[in-house]
Amino acid sequence: MGMRVSQQQCSETEQAIVPAVSPDSSGTRGTTPLAAPAAPSPQEPVPAPTAPLGPQLLAPDAAAAEADINGALQLVPDAVVAEADINGALQRVPDAAAAEADINEALQLALADMAAEQDNTPDAAPDDDELLGLASPTQHTPEVNEEAPPADPPTPRERGSDTAPLDEHRLQTFDDELLTHYRTAAPVPPVVPPAPDCDPPLDTDRLSPLEQVQPTQQGLAFAVLRDIGRQRRENQDSGFGMLSSLPREGADLPLGLFVVADGMGGHEAGGLASRLAVHAVAESVVSQFMLPVMEDNTTTVLQTLMIEAVQYANQVIWEHAQQHGTDMGTTCTAALLVGRALYVAHVGDSRAYLLEHGQLQQITTDHSMVARFVELGQITPEQAHTHPQRNQLYRAIGQQPDVVVDFVYQPIGTASHLLLCSDGLWGMLTDAQLTHVMQHTIWPQDTCHELIARANLAGGEDNITALVVTFPIAERVTL
């Protein structure tokens, strides 16, 4: 609030103000001292203003604002009143442009006041509070709520600062709006690559009844595993398996060769005999049938092929035993798969089984003493498992220059499994146990593992070899 003072007090106040705005003061732009006022006129003493001397700068350009104020003070004799008016304007308006407008308005009012004094009409001059639009002390002021804390005054800017203080409320509001935008914004749809060119889905309505088949429960596959057992020092068993497909115009023809040999003889002679037998059979069948049939250049009779392959193995082992003076021999069971039929050649007591509809069928005959006793009715099949002569063979590979080979032609029909094994497996497990394992395992590898594990749990008295072939099973939809 502005207050009037005498010229004498103005002069005293001027003397107190001049050093604060001299050219030697720091933080100014080299302003000039205030000019001396006119001769004083006696008036009643007025109490000193309560507002602090010197402008409370809130404008962005502090040096420019100070220069404008000093210029205003030079033009107005009543320095205290002008300074109080300017301070009030600056305190009310923190914005620089608004402050400058208020300062100009205050200067115009001060000049009008000075002109009114020169016309000797001091009583007609309006009060400074009325000119500035401020409430007089006699007017009613709004009641202050003592419970509510007073509002904090605006924070002044530092001298020479070009930026206003940060409005934390506005920043928080902006952050909340930005976060809300990202939370509510629609997600960007993923980029879906174009679908590759592919055949249209199969129209099953156009298929014939025989072509409408469900996915197979199992496919054509095989596995062969060997184990030394629990009581032998070396493994004299050997196994071989090969599965392929022969391309044909109508439909591809499955081809497979599977061989199991159980050697006998001392000091590695039995193991060598079984390996020689497997190698000889595989070499004969592949060279005389599988390779020529791929070129459609074969007239081989498969029964003769398989018999001669096993006889060739007998010849190789016999000649090797004669040359090295050893007594060696082996069993040999070989099965050739062509399409949906099996061609089996067999010597000894290794076995071939076919599992069909849960029924296990032995398709080979053991060339052993206990098997002949069972055939003659002298003992039962159960007694044969524990008979003391169960390991004695009357026919084997490599024991004589010539050998009689059994041959079996066996259509697969609806069979699901083919099992070739040595006596180390079938001698430890019953037919029911063999059937159970094959029916409850899908993959041939798992079936072989399970069969060997059960044979070892039963005692593992001999080397164990298991070769399992699974045939495709599909149920056709008939109308």
Domains defined along the chain, listed by start = 7-41+49-135 (no CATH), 221-470 (3.60.40.10)
Instruction: Give the C-alpha separation, 410 to 366, whole Å.
Output: 17
Instruction: Give the C-alpha separation, 298 to 221, whole Å.
Output: 26
Q: What is the mean pLDDT of the chain?
A: 74
Instruction: Give the C-alpha separation, 244 to 336, whole Å.
Output: 11
pLDDT at position 294 is: 83
- Tens-binned pLDDT, residue by residue, of the chain (479 aa): 444 444 444 444 444 433 433 334 444 344 444 444 444 444 444 444 444 444 444 445 666 666 666 665 565 555 555 566 656 655 554 565 666 676 677 777 777 777 776 665 544 444 444 444 444 444 444 444 445 455 454 444 443 444 445 455 555 555 566 555 545 555 556 655 655 555 566 555 555 555 555 666 789 999 999 999 999 999 999 999 999 998 887 788 899 999 999 999 766 789 999 999 999 999 999 999 998 988 887 788 999 999 999 999 999 999 999 999 888 999 999 999 999 999 999 999 999 999 999 999 999 999 999 999 998 999 988 888 888 888 899 999 999 999 999 999 999 999 999 999 999 999 999 999 999 999 999 899 999 999 999 999 999 999 999 999 999 986 444 43
Tokens for 165?
A: 């203080």
- Cα-based angle 362, 366, 368 (whole degrees, multiple of 5): 155
Instruction: Give the C-alpha separation, 430 to 433, whole Å.
Output: 5
pLDDT at position 113 is: 73
Contact (CB, 8 A) for 393 and 349 = yes
Tokens for 378?
A: 């002298």
Contact (CB, 8 A) for 405 and 334 = no
